[in-house]
Each structure stands twice: as structure tokens, then as C-alpha cells.
Amino acid sequence: MMRIITIATIWGFICIVNQVKSITNYKEGGENWTEGWCAVGKKQSPIDIPTSLGSFTVNSVRLVENQKLELILTDSVMSQVVVEDLITTYEVPFTDGFLALWDENDYLDTYKLVQFHVHAPSEHTFDGRHYDLEIHFVHKHQTRDRLAVLSVPFDVEKGGNQANDFISSLKIGEKNVQNVTIPTMNLVKKLNKNKIFHYDGSLTTPPCNETVEWIVVNDPQPISSAQVKVFNDRWMNNQTFANGHGNNRIVQSLNQRYIYMKQEVKSSLGISCFSISMTFILMGIFVMFY
């Protein structure tokens, strides 16, 4: 009896799927992003922030007194951290920090720092003006799917043209840098926590999730022109990046949102008395582009 042995050859195909990670495209300043909530959301970020009531050009501005808006930050020195070049930003993963926000509804919530990253020019504008740089400290809520992003601006003109230690510590543009030590506390300590704005917004990159408590500190920090140039050469002055655009998404409509501002109250002597009077200005803009 003859045995026919069939040898089946099994061909194994190894499929290498070349997954192209989509890189945020800034060529249109984010105008043509279609992912997630970018095109359809009504609570998008960044926005333009009017810094005083006088700069409002619309109606419906209301004063609300006896409400609190407090920002509490714990901070530390980040040591042995890696500054990641993600092409569209520099990002530093870091987890040693907490942010607590006592919001305008007297609700206190805490978030844990997960990373910070850089935008140049700033994403938020103030009375229509960009600052040179804006750093976003991204904090995550411990249990809920919410983020609190602390936005800190840097500006040569408004903050002063001098080298900033925090920026220097990132060692961006320097050769053979591995791990760095970043004195975050030096920056956080200096921030004027009485100049904060709070509003409900989104991520400023796709998919633009509308899950962000924005805390924007309008206290521009010093930075030297040379330091700004390093970021601008990377993005704004780099033709292959976005033809003269930085890594900032253009400002979005406020729609039916409020911006809450912690108001600095001047006494008759011209002295600021934050602790005495907790007056906040509730600024509402209704349906400009609705």
C-alpha cells in the first residue's frame, strides 16, 4: 500500500503594517482639523481672553461678588527627566505635582500633573494679542475623565527680555543632552495666582476633547529673545513646518461660555487687597457667532 504523504506547505505571511502616526498639521492653524470634536465642538480652545471689562466689545457683562477662584499648586524639582521632541511640540512627561482649583461655584477639585509641553506663539490671546510662548501643564483628575490645564505665558516685551531659568533648564537645542533637571517650583512660586482666568474648554490638538478646565494665568514670565528664537526657528520660521505658522491652534469662538476672572480689587489708596475682598467678575459673552 502506497502512502501518499502530502506535505502541505504553510506560507506564513508577515504583514508589516506601517502605521503612520498622524502628526498634528498646523498648516491651516488647525482650521481644517476634522477629528473628534475639532470641527463640531462648541466649547473649543484656545480662545481670546479680554483682560479687563473695558476691553469687552459685547454686552452681557455681569459682576458677581463673594465668589472664589483659588489656584493651589504644589511643585517640585523635576530631576532626570527627558524632554521629548514630538516635532509639533516639546513635551516633558512628569508626575510630581498637584493642582487644586477652588472654582467659581465654590467647588474644590484636585488634579495630578502628567506632562507639560510648549506652544510658540501662545495659543490663548489676550485682548487679541499673542504672547511669545505658552506652556501647558496638563493635570489629570484622579477618577473622572477631566483634565485641568494650567497655561503659563512667557513674553519678551511684557515679561522682560531676560533669560528664563525654567526655559534654560530644558536645554532645548543643546547637543548630547540626555536627562535634565527642571526647577518647576521656581516658576510656579513666581506666578501671580491673582491673575487667573478659568473657563471650560478643550484639548488644542485633535481630537479636541471637550474635557478641560482651563486655568490661564495672565502673568507673562520673562524670556530672552534668544530663547524665543530657538522655538520660533523650530516652528514659525521653519518653512517645512507650517509656512510661517507656529504650533498654535487659532482661537475659537467662545459661544455660550463664561470666562471667570479673579478680580484684583484696588482700595482707595491704590493698594491691591486680594485677601480682603473676594470679588470676581463674571464675564459672559453671548452668542457672538451663534
Ligand X SMILES: *[C@@H]1O[C@H](CO)[C@@H](O)[C@H](O)[C@H]1NC(C)=O
Pick the closer one to ligand X by CB: 111 or 241.
241
* Cβ atoms of 155 and 133 closer than 8 Å: yes
What is the nearest approach in angstroms of ligand X to the Cβ of residue 43?
14
- Render 9-50 in DSSP notation, one character per residue: PPPPP-------PPPPP-TTTTTT--STTTTT-SS-S--EE-
Non-local (6+) Cβ contacts of 163 within 8 A are 223, 224, 226, 227
What is the nearest approach in angstroms of ligand X to the Cβ of residue 59?
34
Pick the closer one to ligand X by CB: 19 or 178.
178
Q: What single letter denotes the amino acid at residue 269? A: L
Pick the closer one to ligand X by CB: 206 or 220.
206
210-242 CB burial, b ≥16 within 10 A, e <16 = bbbbbbbbbbbbbbbeebbebbbebbbeeeebb
Q: What single letter denotes the amino acid at residue 138? A: V
What does the alpha-carbon distance between residue 176 and residue 37 come to, in Å, rounded to a whole number? 39
User: CA geometry: angle at 195 spanning 190 and 198, to 5°?
Assistant: 120
Under the rule (CB under 6 A), what is the footprint of ligand X? 25, 27-28, 32-34, 80, 82, 87, 178-179, 207, 209, 211, 233-234, 238, 240-241
What is the nearest approach in angstroms of ligand X to the Cβ of residue 50?
28
What is the nearest approach in angstroms of ligand X to the Cβ of residue 209?
4
Pick the closer one to ligand X by CB: 179 or 192.
179
Pick the closer one to ligand X by CB: 28 or 157.
28
Pick the closer one to ligand X by CB: 166 or 235.
235
What is the nearest approach in angstroms of ligand X to the Cβ of residue 278?
32
What is the nearest approach in angstroms of ligand X to the Cβ of residue 75?
19
From 132, 107, 95, select the one nearest 213 (Cα to Cα): 107
